[in-house]
Chains A and B, each alone.
Chain A
Amino acid sequence: MNQLGDRKFLIIGVFVLVGLMFIARLFYIQVIDDSYKLDANNQAFRYKTEFPVRGYIYDRNNKLLVYNEAAYDLMVLPKNISKTDFDTAGFCELMGITKETFLKKMKKAVQAPNSPRKESVFEKQLSPKDYASIQERLYRYRGFTVQSRTLRKYPYKIAAHMLGYIGEADKTTTEKNPYYNEGDYLGISGIEKTYEKVLRGKKGMHIMMVDVHNREKGSYMNGMYDSIAVPGKPLTTSLDADLQLYAEQLMQNKIGSVVALDPSTGEILAIVTSPTYDPNLLVGRSRNKNFAMLSLDSIGKPLFNRSTMASYPPGSTFKLVMALIGMNEHVLTPTTRYPCARGFPPLGGRPKCHPHPSPMDLVGAIGTSCNSYFSYVFKSVIEDKKYNNVYKAYGNWRSLATSFCLGTKTGSDLANELRGNVPSIKYYDKIFGKGSWKASTVISLGIGQNELGITPLQNANVVAIIANKGWYYTPHIVKAIDGNPNDTILDRFKVKHYTEIKDTAIYNAVIDGMAKAVEGGTAASLKIEGIPYCAKTGTAQNPGKDHSVFVCFGPKDNPKIAIAILIENGGWGATYAGPIARLMMEKYLKGKITRPDLEKRMLEADLIRKLNLVPTTNR
């Protein structure tokens, strides 16, 4: 029997061995292998993103420009839809769709770029009313969930380009910035883009527990791991909604741009790109359709933000800069007179000029925008003896010119700014060959033509610099974030930038010239009673009809507004651009219009039709 008694050791050994095996196995699946935890979370947790309310946008007088409206996306996770239990007929009835539509949408949800394991939008942006009707019964349809969203609304229908629009994050975005998931909304253009981080707030995450039937069972650990959505902060812009609306009305049926700044602060008061569109068009379910429609207009290009993205030859405005540079380099005084023979005499009348008395002094040249005069000024700057070298002189000229924030982005908070162009020596060396170009080769730079490129925003900023006599704040549209004008994000707009021309007497000479243009020059018909202001009319040559250009600031002393207007193919500055600037200035400074005749003419002017720019439909 003793022999058999030893058998207990084997038996106990087997028992212990099995126990150890189990404990080892448990250690593996519970402690070492993490995949079961993931599986468990995927099954029992539903991660609900709580999208924060996007920040509202106000104008400078606290008028609401942008607010939100609730909408609901119906999301589907195809892998959670049971092949056997799903009540397709009931679901179609609930949603009010046919079975064919359902199958089509499901196919879309399964195919690339979607996948059965990825949640995608089944039905976009249901109204709160539609949502209410399906909400209660939705739990029966495992695989479907609702995601609340906010849609932008624009009560004023203005400033579409400046405000920009919202779009869905795509793969590139999500790869670059892990904050976003595909399909999240984010600012694509305008200040919606530049202030995205401020406006969007912070997404919240709720972990809900669900049972095997996909019924919600409350939040996980009483919400210990949840995060609450932080609402986006509201923005106060410097825009004057009334002025903006007025400018947009005046600009209707014209192609071009208006930028109005407060020179003393750099705040943008109005920024118009025409033709524009109702920002409400790019919101909600019809957005894609409307976007396609707007893209089809190849002449007006309403989606093209001319204010910051169109580079025009600066034309007349640049003559003001030329005058400042000439005086700064002591090759020009206000009394310097140059002849004009319907063009620049030394080069056989090129660049051409229009008929006007000759010769003239600086004030006269500014008033008449004489091409010959400023060609002389440019020549004298470039061939300035004190540099002994044309290229050094050109380098100096370029440095002075670019200190007016030309050829470089202003650094404003408007999205998608173009830098414009002030050609570099390298650039000309490439075109003409090293050492084989001189002042006369590039003479039309002096009158703001040639390769010079300037955006309407830069143009307005140059005017503001002249109004301020040598300095500027970076133009910007946002005045305060969440009511706080001292938010650090806005610090960069509180830095005064000085040009390389610091002598205020030099500016005074130019300002006098601009004032004379209104008192008795090219803008004499555009006087505003009681408000002496400074202006410069002009045309910018381009392959078609000249662009109508007008820049001004007022009042002359202590300027409150600086405006730059460009109307494509508008001809003379005083024809369209001038009156519109004048009306805006009066509206802003006086609050009422004393020239209803002018206002009526401008509102009715239809340059697009007049120039036969309306696209004809092919039949």
Chain B
Amino acid sequence: MRENKSESIFYNVDWITVMIYVILVFMGWANIYAAVYNEEHYVITDISQKYGKQMIWIGTSFILALIILIIDESFYTAFAYVVYGIFMVLIIAVPFLGREVKGSRSWFRFGDFGLQPAEFMKFATNLAIAKFLSNQNIKIADYKNTFVTLLMLGVPMIIIMKLQDETGLAIVFVAFIFTLYREGLSVNYLLLGFLAAILFILALLVNNIFLFGIIGVLCAVSLLFIKRSRTNLFAVALIGIVACGMVKGTSSVYEHLEPHQKIRIDVLLGRGTVDLKKEGYNVNQAKIAIGSGGFLGKGYLQGTQTKYDFVPEQDTDFIFCTVGEEWGFVGSSIVIILQLTLIIRIVFMSERQRSPFSRIYGYGVASVLFFHLTINVGMTIGLAPVIGIPLPFFSYGGSSLWSFTVLLFIFIKLDSHRLQILR
């Protein structure tokens, strides 16, 4: 009996996760329909329209999910590095082989449809890191191993950013910081990163000289509370100098950013004057659309701001505006809660893995989904800079839906075998 059951590919599959996934995908589809709704093409399956195409992406995603569940789970551990390598080759090749579409060189085009290999680099990298860190001889706390891990993340990140000019896709790799933290990365790195982020923002908002003063005072005050040993004195001084260096560094980093990136940061921080018709347009329109939704929203297909094109990119990166406008506070909260439920569910599932590989991979999935959710929703409500990354399972687009499906279902597959031997 039990023997028979375990032969089924659905044996031990976490149906809660699958259900949330399916709900999100269909909610996304409905909202894409609303975002690009067009009375002339009102049939949701019309494949000349984006919602028709999305239907195809959803169908193929389900097939992909099925294939992933059919493939033997040992495949993913065995070929983790191979997959990583293949996609690495692809993302390097795309700028040279792929056709340029709208100034972007990250696409392979097949007629009307396009694929973006960089999207798939996420799960490939996740596999490779899981493979590397799950090696019993590897302790991430070692500087050498930390370095290797960061290299595994940094190389695709730099390739995508520099060769393909897709900042949004590249920046996602920062998400793996959660995985690394869970696997033992020193808290100091996180604090350093946190400090850097705060200083970066402060350096842009507050006069630098004033900031240096504050750092000095803080260092002096901290000396009052700790033992005044030579080492501590030295440490505090070092921190102070590093902090000042970061402040100074911020200005030079900021100056080296692309103009549009500077503007996005300025818009977020409210620096200088923001022209709502130009650089501030997207964020302002997004906020108007969401804000005008009210408590219960304007009703399905009744959103004026999204339906009538006031919000740019409303079917892809700004899809959350449609949710906010038509479903209101209730609808947007439900979407956020559903997404977070999925993410936290994955964290719990990861923790129940016997195999470190599965656990590390699971944390990667949760981290990537969380990062996407934070940046995507954050930018539409003015809490994060505008970075063009999709809302998982919601945004229009085959590559992102496929990549999220693959990312998630590999974990579902691994999870379904959690009771088997350690890998």
Contact = CB atoms under 8 A, between A and B. Distances in A.
Interface in A1-54: 4-5, 7-8, 10-12, 14-16, 18-19, 21-23, 25-27, 29-31, 33, 35-37, 39-41, 43-45
A30 B340 contact: no
A201 B277 CA distance: 40
Interface stretch (A211-219, A264-272, A598-606): A211-219
A212 B383 CA distance: 25
Interface stretch (B106-114, B156-164, B370-378, B415-423): B370-378
B213 interface: no
Nearest to A220: B304
Given A4-B182, A23-B336, A30-B329, A212 B309 contact: yes
Contacts of A45: 304
A36 B292 contact: yes
A29 B181 contact: no
A37 B291 contact: yes
A381 to B, nearest CB: 78
Contacts of B351: 5, 8
B267 to A, nearest CB: 16
A15 B383 CA distance: 15
B324 A30 contact: yes
A35 B284 CA distance: 12
Contacts of A16: 340, 344
B347 A31 contact: no
Interface in B373-393: 373-374, 377-378, 381-383
Contacts of A10: 181
Contacts of A26: 290, 324, 329, 332-333, 336, 381
Given A26-B332, A26-B333, A40-B289, A209 B340 contact: no
Contacts of A37: 291-292, 294
A15 B289 CA distance: 25
B295 A31 contact: yes
Contacts of B324: 26, 30
Nearest to A4: B184
A525 B323 CA distance: 92
Given A19-B337, A31-B294, A44-B305, A8 B347 contact: yes
B117 interface: no
A210 B366 CA distance: 41
A40 B291 contact: yes
Contact of B344 (A12, A23, A220): A12
Interface residues of B, number: 43
B81 interface: no
A213 B309 contact: yes
A44 B381 contact: no
A11 B294 contact: no
B349 to A, nearest CB: 11
A212 B304 CA distance: 10
Contacts of B184: 4
A30 B310 contact: no
Interface string B182-214: 111000000000000000000000000000000
Contacts of B374: 18
Contacts of B293: 30
Contacts of B290: 26, 29-30, 36
B308 A44 contact: yes
Nearest to A30: B329
Nearest to B309: A212
A204 B309 CA distance: 28
A12 B289 CA distance: 30
B308 A211 contact: yes
Contacts of A12: 344, 347
Contacts of B122: none
A212 B310 contact: yes
B308 A22 contact: no
A42 to B, nearest CB: 9
Interface string A206-242: 0001111100010011000000000000000000000
Contact of B343 (A15, A23, A210): A15
B344 A29 contact: no
B243 interface: no
B182 A8 contact: yes
A11 B292 contact: no
B364 interface: no
A39 B311 CA distance: 13
A436 B214 CA distance: 92
Contacts of B62: none
Contacts of B310: 43-44, 211-212
A33 B310 CA distance: 20
Interface string B6-50: 000000000000000000000000000000000000000000000
B328 interface: yes
B80 interface: no
B288 interface: yes
Interface string B171-189: 0000000100111100000
Contacts of B294: 30-31, 37
Contacts of A19: 336-337, 340
B53 interface: no
Contacts of A4: 182-184
A2 to B, nearest CB: 11
B264 interface: no
B182 A40 contact: no
B105 interface: no
Contacts of A212: 308-310
B216 to A, nearest CB: 31
B287 interface: yes
Interface string B297-334: 00000101101111000000000000010001100110
Interface string B388-408: 000000000000000000000
Given A27-B329, A30-B324, A211 B292 contact: no
A36 B283 CA distance: 12
Contacts of A27: 329
Contacts of B347: 8, 11-12, 15
Q: Which of A10, A25, A40 has the most CB of B within 10 A?
A: A40
A40 B304 contact: yes
Nearest to A10: B181
Q: Which of A5, A30, A220 has the most CB of B within 10 A?
A: A30
B390 to A, nearest CB: 17
Interface in A348-367: none
Contacts of B295: 30-31
Given A7-B181, A30-B328, A44-B310, A22 B291 contact: no
Contact of B288 (A8, A15, A18, A40): A40
B291 A29 contact: yes
B308 A15 contact: no
Nearest to A213: B309
Given A26-B329, A40-B289, A11 B178 contact: yes
A18 B366 CA distance: 14
Q: Which of B291, B294, B302, B329 has the most CB of A within 10 A?
A: B291
B395 to A, nearest CB: 17
Contact of B182 (A7, A21, A211): A7
A11 B182 contact: yes
A412 B363 CA distance: 88
Contacts of B288: 36, 39-40, 43
Given A25-B381, A29-B291, A33-B291, 14 more contacts: A4-B184, A5-B351, A15-B340, A18-B373, A22-B336, A22-B378, A22-B381, A25-B382, A25-B383, A30-B291, A37-B291, A40-B289, A212-B309, A217-B308
11 contacts: A14-B178, A16-B344, A18-B373, A22-B381, A29-B287, A30-B295, A36-B288, A39-B292, A44-B310, A213-B309, A221-B302
Interface of A: 4-5, 7-8, 10-12, 14-16, 18-19, 21-23, 25-27, 29-31, 33, 35-37, 39-41, 43-45, 209-213, 217, 220-221
Closest 8 A/B residue pairs (Cβ): A36-B291, A40-B292, A211-B308, A44-B304, A29-B291, A212-B309, A30-B329, A19-B340
